[in-house]
Structure 1
Amino acid sequence: MPFIDRIHHVAYRCKNAKQTVEWYQKYLDMDFILAIAENEVPSTKEPDPYMHIFLDAGNGNVLAFFELPTRPEMGRDENTPAWTQHLALKVDSMETLDKVKAKLEADGIGVIGPTDHTIFKSIYFFDPSGHRLELAVDTATPQMNKALDAVKWDMLNEWDRTKKAPQHARWMHDGSAVESH
């Protein structure tokens, strides 16, 4: 059993703290739970004013952001594709996924999906600061989870040797039944 109880919070930078709070409340129904503002970084004592906001992502999960007004405009790692770095949040049903997608699109926010990943379906979109978000609903059966668990180390070891996608779980992409694997 891991000694980690859960993630205390995950923090990202945002362009505007107030806009971020309002956006996450409106589209993802997250409550604004805490604001901390300092003119000096507590851990390093570096002079760097910030607003640190915390949002309730459900079940004890907290999503936090920093607005850093004295720093250059935020960017992203240009060597990492935009689709790679993202925050995936679990929802309870396809109905919820479809409802959020409709709300985002009604306000002109581009949404990709739902994308069927066999073990879950998801939608993708960006928040006002340019962070890619994914909402996912689980669709895996116990058999699927068992089959994936059985091959995870073989897949990782093959990937480590070859840097090519292993085919141990090809059934997830080719439509074949998990029972035969």
Structure 2
Amino acid sequence: MHKLQSQGVHHITIMGADRQTSIDFWEGVLGMPFIFEQPNLDDPKQGHLYFDPGDGRLITIFTSEDRKVDASRTSTDVGCVHHIAFAVSQSMYSQLVERLDARGISHSGEKDRGFMNSIYFKDPLGLLIELASYRFEPPQGWTHSDVLFEAHLIRVEAGDDAIADEHLAVAIEQLAKRNTRTLSDR
């Protein structure tokens, strides 16, 4: 039986409150351009706002002027979304604490995840947001996932608990070697 093969995230849709709260957060705080809106085609009483998270894909928000902002933490029951993570550059990452503090947004502080750095905070409706920055760039022709797959194999073979810089460095070296042609035996 054949798989239903995905080719990446198409979009994520979130239940929002009112229109302006969504625009203020997704574009005003996270810098995602507000690219278009239309009614929710399944429930025309709701608005459907579309934002570009930076990679040309979509984050969409269902809005209703009848729904009020409730900042209590969104459900983390089984089957619910725990958090959504967005990529930022290392240069932006270095500014996150300062920029979140300037807006009065409470956050986790910097978190070292071994292969990436992260900061967590909540949107106005209590959804946990992560801004993450990889601590490596994949070699030409490879993806971050390729490097992480290789680093995982190296980590497991070494008996280590989590991916660290030494696993990433070896993975990058091995992947780069696979795509590099040379006439020497080195």
| Length-normalised TM-score, structure 2 | 0.67
2:164 is the counterpart of 1:170: no
In the alignment, is the contact (CA less than 8 A) between 1:148 and 1:169 conserved in 2? no
Cα drift, residue 18 of structure 1: 1.4
1:16 corresponds to: 18
Cα drift, residue 91 of structure 1: 1.0
2:87 is the counterpart of 1:90: yes
Cα drift, residue 131 of structure 1: 1.0
Cα drift, residue 106 of structure 1: 1.0
Cα drift, residue 7 of structure 1: 2.4
Percent identity, aligned pairs only?
21
Cα drift, residue 12 of structure 1: 0.6
2:31 corresponds to: 29
2:60 corresponds to: 64
Any gaps of 5 or more consecutive residues in structure 1?
153-166
Cα drift, residue 4 of structure 1: 3.2
Q: What secondary structure does 2:9 align onto? A: coil
1:155 corresponds to: none
Counterpart residue type for residue 46 of structure 2: Y
Counterpart residue type for residue 116 of structure 1: D
Q: Once the two structures are superposed, what CA deviation does each residue of 1:104-153 show, in whole Å capped at 9, x if it has no partner?
A: 2112101112100010001000111111100111014769731315678x
Structure 1 pair 96–176 and aligned structure 2 pair: CA distance change class (3 A): closer
Q: Once the two structures are superposed, what CA deviation does each residue of 1:70-122 show, in whole Å capped at 9, x if it has no partner?
A: 57987732636x9x7111001121x2013233222112101112100010001
Tell me the distance in 2 between the aligned counterparts of 1:87 and 1:49: 26
Counterpart residue type for residue 83 of structure 2: H
In the alignment, is the contact (CA less than 8 A) between 2:9 and 2:57 conserved in 1? yes
In the alignment, is the contact (CA less than 8 A) between 2:18 and 2:67 conserved in 1? no
- Pick the structure with more strand per residue: 1
RMSD: 3.7
Structure 1 pair 34–3 and aligned structure 2 pair: CA distance change class (3 A): same
Tell me the distance in 2 between the aligned counterparts of 1:106 and 1:88: 21
Q: What secondary structure does 2:105 align onto? A: coil
Alignment partner of 2:126 out of 124, 130, 138: 130
Counterpart residue type for residue 87 of structure 2: K
Structure 1 pair 71–127 and aligned structure 2 pair: CA distance change class (3 A): closer
Tell me the distance in 1 between the aligned counterparts of 2:31 and 2:76: 31
Alignment partner of 1:148 out of 144, 152, 155: 152
Structure 1 pair 121–73 and aligned structure 2 pair: CA distance change class (3 A): closer
Tell me the distance in 2 between the aligned counterparts of 1:144 and 1:6: 17
